[in-house]
Amino acid sequence: MFLFLLFGLTSIFAQEKPSIITADSLKSETIDPLRPAKAAFYSAILPGLGQIYNKKYWKLPLVYGAIGTSAYLYIDNQKNYKLYRDEYKNRLAGNPSSSASLARFDDSRLIAAQKGFQRNRDLSALFIVAFYALNIIDANIDAALSQFNVSEKLVFKPAINRNTIIAQNDFGVAVNYSF
């Protein structure tokens, strides 16, 4: 009778095909292996869209602040670069200075300022690309990490043990883990 209950009432599915999207026993969400790729794709289309897909809305100001500041600095350095370049070209052509503030600079200072603004413009363009790529990488990693099991059943806790023996206090450290 025991064998009948053991083998008769249980069902064994040895040939069942595993599905790609499986339900995690400790979470109510399903594990989707394409979630990181979707988040990265959305962030590549529009910066910040992957963070919205991951429901990390607090990252939007960081994404747009970083890319927006870099874009502003690029535009400002480009404008100043053109201003100093045009002033230097006008001097070489023999035309009078159009700005009183630039008229006090000699040619070597105009060239040095022009090179400085050009360098800062190029660095700003590099930062725009770097923050754009960082936005995509962040969305991808955040989507991948959001599917990990972080329940209380997986614990790694340090603990301090205090044992009091007749006239002696003993202290010890223990590390407890369970899974």
Neighbours of 57 (CB within 10 A): 10
What pLDDT digit, counting tens, does each position of 158-171 carry? 666 665 555 555 55
pLDDT of residue 102: 86
Q: 155 - beta bridge partners?
A: 178
Residues contacting 114, CB < 8 A, separation 6+: 81, 84, 85, 88
What pLDDT digit, counting tens, does each position of 58-81 carry? 999 999 999 999 999 999 999 999
Nearest-angstrom CA–CA distance, 36 and 30: 14
What residue spans define the domains of the chain? 2-178
What pLDDT digit, counting tens, does each position of 82-116 carry? 999 999 999 998 888 888 888 888 889 999 999 99
What pLDDT digit, counting tens, does each position of 32-58 carry? 888 999 999 999 999 999 999 999 999
Nearest-angstrom CA–CA distance, 138 and 115: 34
Is residue 172 over pLDDT 90?
no
Token match 């600079």: residue?
Answer: 105
> What's the pLDDT band for 14 if we cut at 50, 70, 90?
very low
Predicted model pTM: 0.67
pLDDT of residue 41: 95
Is residue 21 over pLDDT 70?
no
Residues contacting 24, CB < 8 A, separation 6+: 30, 31, 147, 149
